Amino acid sequence: MVEKVRVRATLNGEPVDFLVAPYVSLLDTLREELGLTGTKEGCNDGNCGACTVNLDGRIVDSCCVLGAEIDGSTVETIEGMAEPGRLHPLQQSFLEEAALQCGICTPGFLVSAKALLDKEPNPSEERIRFWLAGNLCRCTGYDKIVKAVQKVANSA
Amino acid sequence: MTTETTKGKYNVIGTRPIRHDGYDKVTGRAIYGADIKLPGLLQGAVLRSPHAHARIKSIDTGPAKAVPGVYAVITGADFPGAHDTLVDLGEGAVNFRYASNNIMAGDKVLYKGHPVAAVAAVDKNTALEAAALIKVDYEVLKSVTDLMEALKPGAPIVLEDLEGQDLGEKIDGPTNQANHIRHDFGDIEKGFAEADLVIEREFTTAMVHQGYIEPHNATATWDEEGRITIWTSTQGSFPTRRQVAGILQLPDSVVKVIPLEIGGGFGGKIPSYLEAVAAILSRETGRPVKLLMERSAVFEATGPTPGSWMSAKVGVKNDGTITAAYADIRFEAGAYPGSPVGAAMMCVFSCYDIPNTRIDGYDVVVNRPKTAAYRAPGTTQAAFAVETVVDEIIEKLGMDPIEFRLKNAAKEGTRRADGPIHPLIGNIETLEAAKASPHWNTSLKKNGPDGKLRGRGIASGYWFNIGLKSAVTIAVNEDGTVALTEGSTDIGGSRASIAMMAAEVLGIPVEDVRPHVADTEGIGYTDVTGGSRTTYATGYASHDAAQDVVSQLRERAARLWDVDLDEIEFANGNYQSKSDPELRLSHKELSSKLGSTGGPVVGSASVDPEGAGGAFSTQIADVEIDPETGKTDVIRYTIVQDVGTAIHPAYVEGQMQGAVVQGIGWGLNEEYFMNDDVMVNSSFLDYRMPTTYDLPQIETIIVEVPNPGHPFGVRGVGEVPIVPPVATIANAIHDALGIRLRESPMNPGRILTALDDKG
């Protein structure tokens, strides 16, 4: 039995302190150890973006990061995006613009889009499409996702 | 852009409310299949065949069972051996024996990824580690993955016990030809003899996958009473119950399926793969067991749509009148019979009014995963063939592509080549809307930047849509809201469209309807979310259940006011007395008086409607091709589609756009890339689907020709939009380069080769 590693980090603004086996991905750590199932698995090899989280200000595929690696880091997931009782403008925009169908890719897209708008409040359509190219959606054809992000960008 | 004929007709229908399940889905709270947690839950892993075709000589599970933390290891021997029973699942039939052998191999493996054993263990890593220790002794057999090779005499035989059929006659001896069927109409020889121009061409398309982002999953318990409970992501909880019960040789009623949120399916989550495996692992361990499929297995071992070989021949008079058409459509069924060749034959010529037709269809087993439905199954392939030939005819005749299609358009009363007569359809209206579209009326500059070449293509498509069974109940709350229970799993916003139809009937805001997807013990039998049937048939049930509520509330009003039932009329959400204008209550006011007038009101309906009504789409693409690299970019795309009535136009547009983008991926680069008969690109990296950056905006034009077979005129929306894209792109590439590609995908390699051949 491999010895578990102690990890202390900031998760969605709250301190967390847990033990995790050193081979467990951040994706499985969030979903299995910490109970945050909003981050989704689509491929488990870094090619679909469904498991996107924000790690110290950068978006990463959490399936390609180990849970043990986040010691001392700040992680934001979809569960930390809304204020209590109030959706983030991107979440509201995705609802109003019908930017989701099945919804499995939606947490990843929202985390990615938020990271873009946090850095660049007014990106062009081309820039939005480039930034979101690491997130796969098979339902929408992306049109309404891009428009939902543009709507928030334009109102910034 | 919407060409609305229903504008102003309804209060709720045609508006764009926020979907009821949306809040949970943008916050990460929604529980999908993989998210379920149960006390004592074990995790499973499936060992899969590395070979395309092999006999299993022996399986040694001993080393796996010895791993600490492993609770059970099972193989095909732990399955009861399902009988040959063919059951229709709504969008394709299933033979339980084949279905059982497909989810856990018997004496042979038939494709790479075919399951041979499964493990339940304390956690995922232990299960994977143990599965890797299972020793399978294979006798590798010659395999065949190309359908034309599989039809040749002497080809390796995939299923020794397959009884092949040819035009109703049993084929003697072993064969890979599961079936050959034919539709004949008119006099095909005479029709071609009358033609001034006949074009006949051959086509191939590669096997492609639905590509839903959520992998398959299943969690099961098999309890002491012998009852099985399954939590899963499925397009149909009842059809999943049917399959699990059939595979396990149990009555349907001992299996309960609890559908969790589903992350895409497009037809691929109608077949059951993991559910019965998880159930047997639970039986062996006495614990709940969860199985999650790896992405590579999703590609290698769940149902893609068939690759094809097709020949299409069309004859026309010089004035553009089609006199005859012939198609030979051959599909890879995968390892077991049952490709969607029948559906392709129903649709291939159905945009046109053609007096003489013959259609041959072949269903061929090969050493590939068993195919499943994928959005208008089989019809994208067929449209690629016929619409490319039609485009070549139009070019030779020098006609306008839309005028040619209008001249030959199928309309109400036209006999489809396979027999049925078209009811009221919107084919002509769709073509007229395409003709009037901004895209069609904007000229395209043929020379792009940096030596790139541009072209415009157009193509049309048809899908018949289905009805089938749905049940809905509506319970009235005392505050005037209602709880709507349905059995259709919500794959893309159907809770909203179903709720909107109930709200329209009841005269209340859609937010006052709370839709709920029940498990198989919470609602009457409901067929799959597929076949473009959900908004049509479950919406029909929603309408009827709401009318049942109205009829019961009229009785309550009559009781309350002590007047005859005939005295009570219902209009605009109000119950009122015909003779006394003072006696009038809104739905909400009357709902508050249920407790004193007889107790709760629950409306219900179950339907099996037959007027689904076909759907048509015409699409226009502008492409820009780099002759140096062969890369094709779609720079503008418009889809025009008759949807009957757009219940929630935003989600209608979303269906149109999503299907088009799947079709663009299909036509330009998606394929099962095989090497030594095994798939070698089974990851999202190598099986490359379109990303945001690959695409332009997808312009949508909604045409509404209400379907007389539905109380609100609904037609199925989700499938026909994927029918024309591959043909549309092929025709655009021809316009750009002057070459016709008849093999899909039309990837850079094929374009460069074709340019070289052209010289």
> What is the largest distance, in Å, between two alpha-carbon atoms of chain B?
89
Is the bond leading into B509 cis (omega within 30 degrees of zero)?
no
SS (H, E, C) B288-301: CEEEECCHHHHHHH
Cross-chain residue pair B35–A107, CB shorter than 8 Å: no
- C-alpha B99 chain-centroid distance: 19
Is the Cβ of A62 closer than 8 Å to some Cβ of chain B? no
Of A31, A135, A141, the CB nearest to B657: A141
Q: What is the pLDDT of residue B164?
A: 97
Q: What is the pLDDT of residue B93?
A: 82
Contacts across the A-B interface (CB distance below 8 Å): 185
Return the closest-CA partner of residue B318 out of B388, B398, B222, B256.
B398
- pLDDT, one tens digit per residue, over B639-660 is 999 999 999 999 999 999 999 9
Q: Which residues in A130-150 are b (16+ Cβ under 10 Å) and which e?
A: ebbbbbbbbbbbbbbbbbbbb
Cross-chain residue pair A50–B213, CB shorter than 8 Å: yes
Amino acid making up residue B317? K
Beta-carbon neighbour count of residue B156 at 10 Å? 18
Q: What is the pLDDT of residue A156?
A: 67
Calculate the alpha carbon distances from B26 to A37, A50, A96 in Å: 13, 13, 11
- pLDDT, one tens digit per residue, over A63-101 is 999 999 999 999 999 999 999 999 999 999 999 999 999
Please give the structure tokens belonging to residue B543: 């309408």
Q: Bridge-partner residues for B484, per DSSP?
A: B474, B515
Is the Cβ of B718 closer than 8 Å to some Cβ of chain A? no
Q: What is the pLDDT of residue B759?
A: 80
DSSP string, B255-295: EEEEE-B----TTTTSS-SSHHHHHHHHHHHSS-EEEE--H
Cross-chain residue pair B692–A42, CB shorter than 8 Å: no
Is the Cβ of A64 closer than 8 Å to some Cβ of chain B? no
Cβ contacts of B662 on chain A, cutoff 8 Å: 138, 141
Cβ contacts of B23 on chain A, cutoff 8 Å: 87, 95
- Strands, E, within B387-499: which ranges? 453-463, 470-476, 482-486
Contact partners, residue B170, CB within 8 Å, separation at least 6: B163, B164
Return the residue in B25, B269, B299 with the most chain A beta carbons within 10 A, the one to mutate for interface testing. Answer: B25
- Token look-up 């005819």 returns B393
In chain B, % helix, strand, coil (3-state, to 5) comes to 30, 25, 45
Please give the structure tokens belonging to residue B709: 């077979």
Of A45, A96, A141, the CB nearest to B658: A141
Tell me if B751 sits within 8 A of B632, measured CB to CB. Answer: yes
Cβ contacts of A91 on chain B, cutoff 8 Å: 26-27
Task: Report the distance separating Cα B242 and Cα B237, nearest Å.
Answer: 9
∠ CA B76-B78-B83, nearest 5°, is: 70
- Domains along the sequence of chain B with CATH: 2-30+467-607 (3.30.365.10)
Of B27, B31, B657, the CB nearest to A140: B657
Q: What is the pLDDT of residue B4?
A: 55
Task: Report the distance separating Cα A130 and Cα A42, nearest Å.
Answer: 20
Of B264, B294, B653, the CB nearest to A138: B264
Task: Report the distance separating Cα B257 and Cα B517, nearest Å.
Answer: 12
Report the percent of chain A where pLDDT is more than 70: 99
Cβ contacts of B658 on chain A, cutoff 8 Å: 101, 138-141
Calculate the alpha carbon distances from B365 to B157, B336, B337, B693 in Å: 9, 6, 6, 37
Local structure of A6: helix, strand or coil: strand
- Domains along the sequence of chain A with CATH: 5-80 (3.10.20.30), 89-155 (1.10.150.120)
Of B30, B650, B657, the CB nearest to A103: B30
Tell me if B127 sits within 8 A of B287, measured CB to CB. Answer: no
Task: Report the distance separating Cα B98 and Cα B668, nearest Å.
Answer: 33
Cβ contacts of B660 on chain A, cutoff 8 Å: 141
Cβ contacts of B491 on chain A, cutoff 8 Å: 101-102
Cross-chain residue pair A98–B28, CB shorter than 8 Å: no
Calculate the alpha carbon distances from B226 to B222, B239, B273, B531, B541 in Å: 6, 20, 21, 34, 33
Which ipTM value was assigned to this complex? 0.98
- pLDDT, one tens digit per residue, over B407-439 is 999 999 999 999 999 999 999 999 999 999 999
Interfacial B residues in 637-666 facing A (CB < 8 Å)? 648, 650-651, 653-655, 657-662
Contact partners, residue B705, CB within 8 Å, separation at least 6: B5, B424, B425, B426, B429, B642, B644
Q: What is the mean pLDDT of each run of 10 residues along chain B (759 residues)?
A: 70 97 98 98 98 98 98 97 84 89 97 98 96 98 98 98 97 97 98 98 98 98 98 98 97 98 98 98 98 98 98 98 98 97 98 98 98 97 98 98 98 98 98 98 97 98 97 98 98 97 98 98 96 96 98 97 96 95 96 95 97 97 98 98 98 98 98 97 98 98 98 98 98 98 98 94
CA atoms within 13 A of residue A59's CA, in its CB half-sphere: 25
Of B32, B683, B691, the CB nearest to A43: B683
Calculate the alpha carbon distances from B172 to B25, B162, B165 in Å: 55, 10, 9
Cβ contacts of A12 on chain B, cutoff 8 Å: none
Beta-carbon neighbour count of residue B392 at 10 Å? 17
Is the Cβ of A102 closer than 8 Å to some Cβ of chain B? yes
Q: Which residues in B115-139 are b (16+ Cβ under 10 Å) and which e?
A: bbbbbbbbbbbbbbbbbebbebebe
User: What are the φ and ψ backbone dihedral angles of B165, each rounded to 5 degrees?
Assistant: -125, 145
Q: What is the pLDDT of residue A1?
A: 66
Tell me if B154 sits within 8 A of B277, measured CB to CB. Answer: no
Cβ contacts of B694 on chain A, cutoff 8 Å: 133
Return the closest-CA partner of residue B462 out of B380, B526, B392.
B380
Q: What is the pLDDT of residue B405?
A: 98
Cross-chain residue pair B213–A105, CB shorter than 8 Å: yes
- Token look-up 């045609």 returns B14
Dihedral sign of CA atoms B475, B477, B482, B485 in order:
negative
Return the residue in B210, B655, B692 with the most chain A beta carbons within 10 A, the one to mutate for interface testing. Answer: B692
DSSP B133: T
Is the Cβ of A109 closer than 8 Å to some Cβ of chain B? no
Is the Cβ of A18 closer than 8 Å to some Cβ of chain B? no
Helix ranges (H only) for B470-574 are: 494-506, 539-561
Task: Report the distance separating Cα B230 and Cα B228, nearest Å.
Answer: 7
In chain A, % helix, strand, coil (3-state, to 5) comes to 40, 20, 40
